[in-house]
Amino acid sequence: MKSENIQAQMRKGILDFIVLLVISRKPIYVSDILKELKTHELIVVEGTLYPLLGRLKNSGLLEYSWKESKAGPPRKYYKLTKSGKEMLGRLSLTWNNLNKSIDSLRAC
């Protein structure tokens, strides 16, 4: 197994969490999600977001509204639903716990 594969798996695991986190700030559409991630040094291939967002929406964690745009077709602006916010809370907790465990592992 190459290290890139393990690293990719690690990133994939938290992608849902990251996306929910970004959307929780304000209604946002795909291109801006990518830009936001990039400023925080998280590079994601655009194509992977579409299936992911579709899945989250179908699970009831996201909802979207249409906004007209000058240069092209209308855009989907996503925001968290109530269950989305709850899920985000749980995932944040999971992340914090993991973080603590790893820190303590490394410490000894």
Partner 1 sequence: MKKTFSITLAGILFNIEEEGYVKLKDYLDSIREHFSEFEGSEILDDIEARAAEKFSEKIKPSKQAVTLADVEEFIGSMGTVEDITGEESSGSRTDSSGKSWKEKKLYRDPEGAMLFGVASGLANYFGIDPVLVRLAFLVSLFFGGAGIIIYIILCLIVPEAKTTSQIMEMKGRPVNLSNLKEAAEKKFGQAKKNISVSRPFGKIAKKVRPAIKRIGQFTAVILGVVLVIGMAAALLGISIVFANLLFNADSPFLAFSGKEYILSSEYYLAVTSVFFAVFIPIFFGMFVGISLIRRKWTLKLTAGLLLLFGWIISIAAVGVFAPRIAGRYQEKMQNRKNSETVRDFDIRVQGI
Report how far residue 31's alpha carbon sits from residue 38's, in angstroms, rounded to the nearest whole number: 11
Residue 108 CB, nearest distance to partner 1 (Å)?
30
Q: Helix, strand or coil for residue 24?
A: helix
| Nearer residue to partner 1 within complex by CB, 55 or 85 | 55
Residue 24 CB, nearest distance to partner 1 (Å)?
20
Distances (CA, A) of 11 to 22, 26, 75, 90, 92: 15, 23, 27, 18, 15
Q: Which parts of this chain interact with partner 1 (CB under 8 A)? A: 1-2, 5-6, 8-9, 12, 30-31, 45-48, 50-55, 58, 69, 71-76
Structure tokens at 72: 């092209």
| Nearer residue to partner 1 within complex by CB, 39 or 72 | 72
